[in-house]
Chains A and B, each alone.
Chain A
Amino acid sequence: MTTAMRARGAGRTNVDRFLTLLRVLLIGLIAIGLLAFLWQQIDPGNAFAKWTHEGEEARRLTWPQFRGLIISGLSQGAMYGLIALGYSMVYGVLGFINFAHGEVFMVGAFTGFIMSNKFDEAGLWEGSAFIPMVLITVIVATLVAMITAIIMERVAYRPLRGSPRLIPLITSIGVSFFIQNAVILLFGPGAKSYPRNPDWMSERIWGVEVVKIIVIVVAALSMAGLWYFVERTKTGKAMRAVAEDKEIASLMGINVDRTIVTTFAVGGAMAGIAGMLWGLLFRSVIATTGFLPGIKAFTAAVVGGVGNLGGAMAGGVSLGSAESLAPLVLLEPLGIDGVSQLRDAVAFTLLILVLLVKPTGLFGERLSSEDRA
């Protein structure tokens, strides 16, 4: 970041000192938490654990518990990663955060809910019909999410191309708000539950639920498909060119408008798949389902480096694992009560930490020169 460099040249200000202190504090806390966790794994009755837990012994995490945390972190992270791809691509191409992308995800999950319930009423959500019906539902959910993203681009963002960059961001906040409340009004405010999955989905292979494995595998496959699309096809090449420089790309005969629509559509499709997976995993969806995962997916995109597709996926997985592990591995050993309530706070703190320590993300940003400012 250029401003940061300039400030460094001008000598250290109090803000810099404060930020250094904050970095040291956050990293120090993480280190202490980790050490305390290791120590209490070895000896639950150690002095530090007794001090933080007011005289009582700490509870040791068993291996199955630990494995459970990792797997739920991975499966959730895989979904964050899928949503993050949409943020990342749109940011790469248009240079603004599509705040409403989380709602595209929610629309996908909602479509899945409607379809699966209808299939369930017809008795098709079980037995041998289950897998084909799930496939149909995924395809429809993906299409609906895609169409939502395309309409969004056409109505709200295209007229704003070239305006100051905060304007489309504010618009996207409005879009997000609008879609959320439209869904509440159209479908009612309560939580909607997916029908029961067939029993084999909650069975365990090596202690891991099948549905979580499915989520991880599907996410990985979608990611691979997207990678192929962006890196190996002509349309993908056009997308990369538009991300690099819109004007030059249009001079090279690329239809910029259509490429941008494609970007939104592909991002929307990924979010739709993630929405459907969310429904299968948590079996419940509500109009505000998209909000937090949306913000967290953005966090994942930043953690991995905005504009970097592999980074988005890796960011998602690391965010998911951090969110799932940190409460018990870092915070609990420090003697904090009710750690599971702090999951969301962990995600946001990770965002702040990454932006403080490595603002370009773990794997580096890939943005056009004008967006790097």
Chain B
Amino acid sequence: MTAIDPGTATEPAPIEKGAFDFDWNEAARRGGILALALAFVALTGMPNGLNDRLLIDPILSLGYLSLLWLPFAFGWLSGNEKVLEGMARTKRGLRDVVRGDVIGFVGGLGLSLLVILINAFDLRDPLVNWSPQTLAVLQFDRGQGFGIIAWPILGAILGAAGASLHLLPQRIRRATLAALATVLVFAIFETFIVDLFDFTEDLLYENQGGLKILWAIILFVVAFGASIGGAGRKVGQVRTNYQQATGSAKTTQTALYIFLASVAMIVIPMFTGKITQELLANIGIFLLLALGLNIVVGLAGILDLGYVAFFAVGGYTTAVLTSPNRGEDWPEWFPTMPWWGALMVTIVVAALVGLFIGAPVIRMRGDYLAIVTLGFGEIIRILFLSDWLNGYFNGAQGITNVPPADFGFAQVKGTDPRSVFYLVLVFAAISIYVSWRLERSRLGRAWMAIREDESVAEAMGINTVNVKLMAFVVGAVLASFSGAIFAAKVGSIFPTSFLILVSIIILVVVIVGGMGNIIGVIVGAAVLIGVLGGPKQPGLLAEFSEYKLLIYGALLIVMMLQRPEGLVPNVRRSRELHQEEFLQDAWLKGEVDDAKADGDEPNGGPEGALA
């Protein structure tokens, strides 16, 4: 029940409990889960594989972070109590710390056990990371005894630290978290920051990308101070101002922010090196895809798992129309044209394919539709790969020598990622504008009505079939932009670039960002593709490449369980997802109000809960 306002007068006084008065079984169970989680992470090879990337030189590497954050998080989570309306909270105190301590300790014991087991047995045959290297990392290079003793102690400290966050006043807790986040961001974004400001390389960073300890402390203190000083509140103030503004004031503000964002986007790539430009270009390409999928999944509520098909169609159409190396079976009269001409054809082809794939699936149940679209995605990839159409698409060899997109004043090609980024930027702007206008159009409202309840939408006179087909077509066209740019950027098109994996990663981007929210999708693409990387493209943490798919899967599960509306939720969508809770809250509120003689106005309610 997130919707409860702590200021409600009906809340009973908190209960005091002793330091050891908590559910020990529950704590032990959580500790056991933590132990399993730690052992799992250790055996996936993350601590060992990521150990070369330092975050804070020399004390913390990404490898150790992959283990250490777990007890901290478990400690924090152990303090989260489900407090229902009208129920008493338990007073925070030593009890929380002890509980976090116990959980962390048990978790650490799990790793000690793992250290003993790795020393004693050789299971390297099935488990590839059951290795001396993993062992060395787990023992801090100091022998078995040290590892066995260190982990429970570390776990207990971190668990207690996580739990004691609950004890701090909210302001200080926020400041601590903000400061920790700042240090992490500076450490992770090393490539980007150094690329942008050359002098930081020697100033901030030691070897292997790690922050110098001194600078880590300085950053922590500065961020902490800024947060206490109210920096966070000022940002929040700006946001509320914007949300509350109406009429022309809002238009002016919107224009201002869009202007600032576009200037930043245009200026930043001028000062960065190739790696960052390449990264931005990749983010842009996936952003285009995600914006398209956002219309299909986020607005219309159609779960299209074969979305990569449209990306493939866009890429292949452009490649066939521009490359001299296309298959041999195309007839003589078939034209070769410049990139922008091919783009026009690509749009038409993508729209037609959208219609073709959309029409058969449009009346199916939502979950059938998901699988069938996935099937279509695979069919299209298989066809591009097949010997049957080898004369047209060159099968596994793919279409090579796709020429750069030539605009007279500039050439867009893969060796010049900045030009690709600017081209992507133009199309992203178009897509964002289109999505933004569509969302507020008659069509957009029809999509949302269908998403909420198809039968009711139909009863309201919406032609559900046509409207859903439109979603498919718009999504297909947006994806084909991305495919066309991808073809020009990479210079060659292979069937292996269009695995189902791509669909799923775009789905994760849309869901993590926030289904149905354009800003959310941008944030999702920037964070996920930027930091973790795309299916084949490295992100800022190139070390993650082996592990990123696992992390994508885990993110998808965690988001669906904890926050299905995404990081930046769409107000209407999150209300749909939490409808039951709102109904319950409203019902409880009603009951509480009846019981109260003076009849205060209830605080919160669905509107207030989301603000």
Q: Report the minimal beta-carbon distance from B431 to chain A, rounded to whole angstroms.
A: 23
A1's closest neighbor in chain B, by CB?
Answer: B363
Q: Is B601 an interface residue (CB 8 A)?
A: no
* 0/1 string, B529-558, CB within 8 A of A gives 1: 000000000000000001101101111110
Known: A15-B362, A185-B44, A187-B127. A97 touches B383 (CB 8 A): no
Are A177 and B366 neighbours in the complex by a CB distance under 8 Å? no
* 0/1 string, B355-381, CB within 8 A of A gives 1: 000011011111110111011101100
Are A96 and B561 neighbours in the complex by a CB distance under 8 Å? no
Are B549 and A19 neighbours in the complex by a CB distance under 8 Å? no
Q: Give residues 11-38 of A contacting B (CB, 8 Å).
A: 13, 15, 18-19, 22
Q: Report the minimal beta-carbon distance from A162 to chain B, rounded to whole angstroms.
A: 7
Known: A13-B465, A175-B557. A182 touches B550 (CB 8 A): yes
Known: A174-B560, A175-B557, A177-B504. A15 touches B386 (CB 8 A): no
Q: CA of A349 to CA of B374 in the docked complex: distance in angstroms?
A: 12
Q: CA of A299 to CA of B507 in the docked complex: distance in angstroms?
A: 22
Residues of B within 8 A of A6 (CB): 458
Q: CA of A3 to CA of B370 in the docked complex: distance in angstroms?
A: 18
Are A302 and B368 neighbours in the complex by a CB distance under 8 Å? yes
Are B386 and A341 neighbours in the complex by a CB distance under 8 Å? yes
Comparing A196-204, A206-214, A350-358, the segment that makes contact with chain B is A350-358
Residues of A within 8 A of B378 (CB): 295, 344-345, 348
Q: Is B511 an interface residue (CB 8 A)?
A: yes
Q: Give residues 280-320 of A contacting B (CB, 8 Å).
A: 291, 295, 298-299, 302
Are A348 and B379 neighbours in the complex by a CB distance under 8 Å? yes
Q: CA of A42 to CA of B507 in the docked complex: distance in angstroms?
A: 51
Residues of B within 8 A of A373 (CB): 365, 455
Residues of A within 8 A of B553 (CB): 174-181
Are B126 and A114 neighbours in the complex by a CB distance under 8 Å? yes
Q: CA of A118 to CA of B46 in the docked complex: distance in angstroms?
A: 27
Are A338 and B387 neighbours in the complex by a CB distance under 8 Å? yes
Q: Is B469 an interface residue (CB 8 A)?
A: yes
Are A182 and B366 neighbours in the complex by a CB distance under 8 Å? no
Q: Is B184 an interface residue (CB 8 A)?
A: no
B375's closest neighbor in chain A, by CB?
Answer: A348
Q: Report the minimal beta-carbon distance from A59 to chain B, rounded to whole angstroms.
A: 17
Interface of B is mostly: helix
Known: A163-B577, A295-B374, A337-B388. A178 touches B125 (CB 8 A): no
Q: Report the minimal beta-carbon distance from A345 to chain B, rounded to whole angstroms.
A: 5
* 0/1 string, B552-588, CB within 8 A of A gives 1: 1111110011001000000000001100100000000
Interface of A is mostly: helix
Q: Report the minimal beta-carbon distance from B378 to chain A, rounded to whole angstroms.
A: 6
B501's closest neighbor in chain A, by CB?
Answer: A177
Residues of A within 8 A of B301 (CB): 166
Q: Is B40 an interface residue (CB 8 A)?
A: yes
Q: Is A191 an interface residue (CB 8 A)?
A: no
Are A359 and B375 neighbours in the complex by a CB distance under 8 Å? no
Known: A15-B469, A170-B511, A355-B372. A181 touches B550 (CB 8 A): yes
Are B366 and A165 neighbours in the complex by a CB distance under 8 Å? yes
Residues of A within 8 A of B454 (CB): 3
Q: How large is the interface on B (under 10, 10 to 19, 20 to 34, 35 or more residues)?
A: 35 or more
Most buried by A among B126, B301, B379: B126
* 0/1 string, A339-373, CB within 8 A of B gives 1: 10110110111011001100100000000000001
Residues of A within 8 A of B557 (CB): 155-156, 171, 174-175, 178
Are B560 and A170 neighbours in the complex by a CB distance under 8 Å? yes
Q: Report the minimal beta-carbon distance from A163 to chain B, rounded to whole angstroms.
A: 7
Q: CA of A186 to CA of B500 in the docked complex: distance in angstroms?
A: 23
Known: A18-B359, A185-B44, A186-B128. A159 touches B561 (CB 8 A): yes
Are A185 and B379 neighbours in the complex by a CB distance under 8 Å? no
Name B368's contact: one of A163, A175, A355 (CB within 8 Å).
A355
Name B371's contact: one of A4, A171, A179, A351 (CB within 8 Å).
A351
Q: CA of A117 to CA of B561 in the docked complex: distance in angstroms?
A: 38
Residues of A within 8 A of B464 (CB): 3
Q: Is B45 an interface residue (CB 8 A)?
A: yes
Q: CA of A62 to CA of B112 in the docked complex: distance in angstroms?
A: 64
Known: A167-B564, A345-B379, A355-B364. A174 touches B359 (CB 8 A): no
Name A341's contact: one of B128, B375, B382, B504 (CB within 8 Å).
B382
Residues of A within 8 A of B375 (CB): 295, 299, 347-348, 351-352
Are A178 and B458 neighbours in the complex by a CB distance under 8 Å? no
Known: A6-B458, A182-B40, A186-B43. A169 touches B382 (CB 8 A): no
Name A352's contact: one of B40, B303, B360, B390 (CB within 8 Å).
B360
Q: CA of A13 to CA of B468 in the docked complex: distance in angstroms?
A: 14
Q: CA of A336 to CA of B556 in the docked complex: distance in angstroms?
A: 40
Residues of B within 8 A of A181 (CB): 547, 549-550, 553
Q: Is A7 an interface residue (CB 8 A)?
A: yes
Residues of B within 8 A of A355 (CB): 360, 364, 368, 372
Are A169 and B549 neighbours in the complex by a CB distance under 8 Å? no
A-B contact pairs, 9 of them (CB 8 A): A118-B125, A156-B557, A166-B367, A169-B303, A169-B366, A186-B127, A336-B388, A348-B376, A355-B360
Q: A3-B454, A342-B386 are in contact. List 20 more A-B contacts (CB 8 A).
A: A165-B366, A166-B370, A168-B560, A170-B560, A174-B556, A174-B560, A175-B553, A180-B549, A181-B550, A185-B45, A186-B44, A295-B378, A341-B387, A341-B388, A344-B382, A345-B378, A345-B383, A348-B378, A352-B360, A352-B376
- B interface residue numbers (CB < 8 A to A): 40, 43-46, 125-129, 301, 303, 305, 359-360, 362-368, 370-372, 374-376, 378-379, 382-383, 385-388, 390, 454-455, 458, 464-466, 469, 500, 504, 507-508, 511, 546-547, 549-550, 552-557, 560-561, 564, 576-577, 580
